[in-house]
Structures are given as C-alpha cells and as structure tokens.
Amino acid sequence: MKPLLTLVFVMIASHAAALSCLRPDVASSYQDAHAAEDLYYILRGRLDFDAALMPNGVEARASPPAAVPAQFDGMTLTARGFTTPFAAPIILQPSCAGPWCGSLQPSADILVFAKQTGAGLEVDVGACPWFVFYNPTDAMEQRIVDCVAGRRCERADR
C-alpha cells in the first residue's frame, strides 16, 4: 500500500505546483516573431471580446480551448513608433500547458504580436504569454521601436 500512497502524493504534488514562466520581454518576443516564417503585426490598443469564452486559467481540459473572436482598436507599429491607427477583427487562440491555460482581460491597454494567417490576424494566448503585454510602458515601446529600426534589441534584464 505504501507505493500506491507515494504515487498518489506525487500526482497531487504535481498538480499543486504552479506553472513557472520566464518573464516575457518585448525584445525577446520581437526576435522570436522576426525569426519566424510568419508575418507579425505589433499592435497597441484594446481588444474587445466576450471574456466568458476564454479559459479560466487553471482547469482540467480534455481538448484545446476554442478560438475566441475579438475586435482590436488601436495603433500599429512603424519605424517611428505606434503611429498608424489600426482596427480589425482578431482571433485569440488560447492554449494550455497542462492544466494552465492562457487568458486575457478585455478592454485592457495591451501590446500584442498578431500573426497573419489565411483567416486573418491571430494572437497566441499561451499559458506563458510571450506575445501579450499588459500596460506597456514608454520604455517597452522604445525598445520595440529600436528593434524594428535595427538598433540595439535585447532583453531589458541583460
């Protein structure tokens, strides 16, 4: 009975452990998007969508979460900064890492990397949010502008 008890404890402990993500960084996210074969738009503004359609963060899932339709309203990045108005429908694609699922809050000030797909623009909303930044600062904006302009583009903590 002792081996069974140990197995139950290990299973409980593994579910109780929190997901540990590296802190996302706009320069690293830019480098990943730039290196990808896909085309990415870098947007700053607000996403409006039905929050009830997003996963609840930590939950047991039998299948991947469904895509969530959203509307973006804000600006797109140019070499001079977020200077061009941009409004478009966007698909939010939540994904999970075990029981931890990515989620967003509607109408928050947000900077996102939106991938161009055959169906339109899509934002990956992963359990570790590499392409989503809430309340972007002036310093974050300047770093992403520097990246696009070909200037110094490395993580802020280096």
What residue ranges define each of the domains in the chain, with the CATH number in brackets? 21-148 (2.40.50)
Nearest Cα to Cα of residue 15 among 99, 103, 95: 99
Confidence of residue 11 (pLDDT cuts 50, 70, 90): very low
- Per-residue b or e along 108-133, where b marks 16 or more CB atoms closer than 10 Å to that residue's CB: eebbbbbbeeeeebbbbbbbebbbbb
Q: Which pLDDT score is estimated for 98?
A: 81
User: What tens digit of pLDDT does each residue of 26-70 get?
Assistant: 999 999 999 999 999 999 999 999 999 988 766 666 678 899 999
Average pLDDT of the residues in 82-104: 92
Between 153 and 60, the more confident residue is 153
Confidence of residue 97 (pLDDT cuts 50, 70, 90): confident
Query: Which of 29-33, 57-61, 120-124, 135-139 comes out lowest in average pLDDT?
Result: 57-61
| pTM of the full structure | 0.82
Q: Is the pLDDT of residue 137 over 60?
A: yes
> Could you tell me whether strands 110-117 and 40-48 are parallel, antiparallel, or unpaired per DSSP bridges?
antiparallel
